[in-house]
Structure 1
Amino acid sequence: MPDATFTTPDLTTFCRLDELGLVVVGQHLETDRAVLACRVQEDEAARWCRRCGCEGGPRDTVTRRLAHEPLGWRPTTLLVTIRRYKCTGCGHVWRQDTSRAAEPRAKLSRTALRWALVGLVCQHLTVARLAQALAVSWDTANDAVLAEGARVLLEDPARFEGVKVIGVDEHVWQHTRRGEKYVTVIIDLTPARDRTGPSRLLAMVEGRSKQAFKTWLAERPQSWRDALQVVAMDGFTGFKTATTEELPEATCVMDPFHVVRLAGDALDRCRRRVQQDLHGHRGRAGDPLYRARRTLHTGADLLTDRQRQRLTALFENEDHVQVEATWGIYQRMVGAYREPDRARGKQLMTQLIESVTTGVPAALIELRTLGRTLKKRAADVLAYFERPGTSNGPTEAMNGRLEHLRGSALGFRNIANYIARSLLETGGFRQRLHPGLG
């Protein structure tokens, strides 16, 4: 840069302290941190007493330590000298206003809070890493960042606007026997359906029951509930009942993933039962039924020649006829969902439901159970074909992101912290905090 112009370093601007109403008057660099001595910008109005209106005179100074945004990942501490005044009239004592720099009694500056919140939400940093970069304790960083996240993001009523499609599912938040391990997650699927963006976590409720979901819905404004059009869910009847009672105008859609899994589970139970009846033991490596366990779950249009030969050999044995019948229903269900023409797909699914609800032999106990379930939830299953783009798949993907969050934090013991961290991590706030990120 031959034409570059260099000026005297201005630490106040470089460290963005002018935004906080502070001026740097000195610095001290240590091996593990940087300390900046600051004073509060002069304000003539601060010299006058708010009680009697008389002018105050300087009395003394106090020092306040604030953790600031790290510079080059070196922890930065602000040593703020605050002047105190004493009124010449009534004797009242007050100090310079530092509310621009930090909240009262806070240990982090407002810039540090913003930096930590962006790091948590956009960069997916752990609280331990943030605490290390700010040179504060884990509790201090966690309490401050979660409080700031709740104030700036979670308590914003605008985040519930425009929600027309939601998904609901259960999620295991801790894998221990102590206390309730399930939470109910509610996902905003509107952006995914409209192809305007990814889905986002809307709320997380402790417990997994009809009452948990019903209570959350009842707490929402009536206008918000009236705007909901679709609720995607799995086969849990508690979610279905809560939706029917609180959202009578909304359409319940049973997610294709869970419907297919019902058929897949029926196929697995049938295979295990036949295996036990024929051989008297669970599947082993050399047993044909056990060797074909994964091939049976592969779509018929995706089978390789080797897989087709394996299934042909398997079904040539008359002892495996029950498995073949259940496999046929499973493949019909997959084919209905893969049908490009939704009207045709709905017709195929309707025919399948009718075929497994009437005239199924008593020996096919798994298909009879599947038929009862499909008959009970037929309207919800068929609603998928009338609501294109509505799927609880993004909800399942959200569960994966929450699993990653819990793993990076090495587990959670506090449900309140877990809910707050989950909402910040997957609540769709990245673009708001950092417009440069997608």
Structure 2
Amino acid sequence: MNTSFLYHAFGVCEQECSRVRYEDKSIIFEVQTRSEKLRCPCCKSRHFIRSGSTIRRFRGVPIGHKPVFLEMKVQRLECKDCHCIRQENIHFITGKRSYTNRLARLVVELSRLGTIKDVAHFLHLSWDTVKDIQKRYLQRHYGCPDLSELEYIGIDEFAVAKGHVYKTIVVNLLTGQVVYIGDGKGADSLDVFWKKLKKSDAVIKAVATDLSPAFVSAVMTNIPEATLVFDHFHVVKLMNDALDEIRRSVYREEKDLNKRKVFKGTRWLLLCNGKDIFDNQFKSRLDNALKLNEPLMKAYYLKESLKEIWTQVNKEQAIKELDAWIEQAYQAKIPKLTTFANTLKAHKWGVLAWYDYHISTGRLEGINNKIKTMKRQAYGYRDQRFFELKILAMHEKNYAFVG
């Protein structure tokens, strides 16, 4: 058979085909290495003695829907120069794999278009074989992200499973690449990342995170020269939680059934952006609820004015706006608002750091949503390392293999 066909079809260039047969609905090529291509696997010498042979079968790229196997007569060589006794090297496979490199590349290409199950069914391979090919490819290309170019990073956690099982991710905010995944959501989940960061000699200018004490202490301890920026989304979320608690307490304490009916079902109206309520019926219902309870009204308008902190012309104006807001929250004399005002005052420096570096954890929230979608598509992952590798490759859209 023409050797160029073996090369272009299966990536075989040093072997020759002596026979082709059809067996059990499969096409089998009987190949063996040409004599002039045989070399000692250790020193590449041509001075050797053939010391027996064995038959090995490798899975190749299918022809149509017919599975293809390369049945090779593998020589055992005894070198006269280095005296090693080993089987000849087989260039078209990796290690002791039972499939060719060309088939592995085909699996990688098809994995961009379908699930592991689809690819395995189409190529007549096992699910574990396709998954193993994907995992080795992802490990080789994305297993060790480069940290030397990092300047702006974001830190956040996401839930892996029920029962408070979390993982912490670190994202390059300029590229959207996940550069690290740690177990848990405490400060110790980032220990390995700090060690790798130190070895990479990267200079981190700013870090975006939520108000988690664990993340704050970890950043300030390991990279104190970096500016810590608290994400404004999480600050607003804390205010929304306080407003929702006030709404619940108002509903519980109200004895008038008619007033309780007005408060019931107003959670969405209170928490959404007031400028987005265009429906007159909804706006009237919100106004009625606010008129019936003064603490709820104060909390709602403070929630609306909180966003003004991030819309000022410069940092000096933002400081004045933040101080005025905290003072108004104290004057309202509502315990939940007082607690939130204390939290905001304690983290004032990190909130205002947004004016030094306009970064947030918005990219991380988007990545967390993609991770949730990926878990649902795969119905969960048994191999956590494979799961992490898919997350590390998520920024490359073409290589985000479906589970």
**TM-score, with length taken from structure 2:** 0.84
Letter in 1 for 2:181: M
Q: Cα distance 1:109–1:278, how it changes in 2: closer, same or farther (>3 A)? A: same
Question: What per-residue deviation string (whole Å, max 9, x for no partner) do you get for residues 349-394 of structure 1?
Answer: 6523543257725751111111111111111111113212x11011
Q: 2:190, 2:279 → 1: CA distance?
A: 47
Q: 2:37, 2:7 → 1: CA distance?
A: 24
Question: What per-residue deviation string (whole Å, max 9, x for no partner) do you get for residues 22-81 of structure 1?
Answer: 5565364876xx534152553625156968967456665433233344556x47443231
Alignment of 1:230-249 (within 5 A): 230-249=206-225
Q: 2:370, 2:133 → 1: CA distance?
A: 24
Choose which of 309, 314, 317 in structure 2 pairs with 1:343.
Answer: 314
Question: What per-residue deviation string (whole Å, max 9, x for no partner) do you get for residues 247-269 of structure 1?
Answer: 11111111121111111111111
Letter in 2 for 1:189: L
Letter in 1 for 2:190: F
Question: What per-residue deviation string (whole Å, max 9, x for no partner) do you get for residues 223-257 of structure 1?
Answer: 534x1111111121110110001111111111121
- 1:383 maps to 353
State whether residues 166 and 186 of structure 1, in contact with CA within 8 Å, keep that contact through their aligned partners in structure 2.
yes
Partner SS for 1:160: coil
- 2:390 maps to 421
Unaligned 5+ runs, structure 1: 1-7, 192-198
Give RMSD over aligned pairs. 3.6
1:110 aligns with 2:101: yes
Choose which of 70, 75, 83 in structure 2 pairs with 1:84.
Answer: 75
- 1:276 maps to 252
Alignment of 1:215-364 (within 5 A): 215-225=192-202, 227-279=203-255, 287-306=261-280, 307-317=282-292, 320-337=293-310, 339=311, 342-343=313-314, 347-348=317-318, 350-356=320-326, 360-361=330-331, 363-364=333-334
Identity in percent: 19
State whether residues 342 and 386 of structure 1, in contact with CA within 8 Å, keep that contact through their aligned partners in structure 2.
no
Q: Cα distance 1:392–1:49, how it changes in 2: closer, same or farther (>3 A)? A: closer
1:300 shift after superposition: 2.8
Partner SS for 1:220: helix
Q: Cα distance 1:148–1:222, how it changes in 2: closer, same or farther (>3 A)? A: closer
State whether residues 168 and 185 of structure 2, in contact with CA within 8 Å, keep that contact through their aligned partners in structure 1.
yes
Partner SS for 2:254: helix
- 1:195 maps to none
Q: Cα distance 1:149–1:255, how it changes in 2: closer, same or farther (>3 A)? A: same
Question: What per-residue deviation string (whole Å, max 9, x for no partner) do you get for residues 172-218 of structure 1?
Answer: 1112x4xx611111111112xxxxxxx12111101110121244213
Q: Cα distance 1:48–1:371, how it changes in 2: closer, same or farther (>3 A)? A: closer
Question: What per-residue deviation string (whole Å, max 9, x for no partner) do you get for residues 385-438 of structure 1?
Answer: 3212x11011011111111111122112443332233223x1x3456899xxxx
**TM-score, with length taken from structure 1:** 0.78
- 2:158 maps to 171
Letter in 2 for 1:80: E
1:46 aligns with 2:38: yes
Partner SS for 2:99: coil
- 2:56 maps to 64
1:372 aligns with 2:359: no
Q: Cα distance 1:309–1:30, how it changes in 2: closer, same or farther (>3 A)? A: farther
Q: Cα distance 1:217–1:27, how it changes in 2: closer, same or farther (>3 A)? A: farther
Letter in 2 for 1:296: L
Q: Kindly tell me the number of residue pairs found equivalent between the two proteins.
A: 397
Q: Cα distance 1:53–1:251, how it changes in 2: closer, same or farther (>3 A)? A: closer
Partner SS for 2:249: helix
Q: 1:52, 1:236 → 2: CA distance?
A: 59
State whether residues 299 and 334 of structure 1, in contact with CA within 8 Å, keep that contact through their aligned partners in structure 2.
no
Alignment of 1:27-42 (within 5 A): 28=22, 34-40=26-32, 42=34
Q: 1:429, 1:22 → 2: CA distance?
A: 37
1:169 shift after superposition: 0.7
Q: 2:301, 2:340 → 1: CA distance?
A: 13
Partner SS for 2:94: coil
- 1:196 maps to none
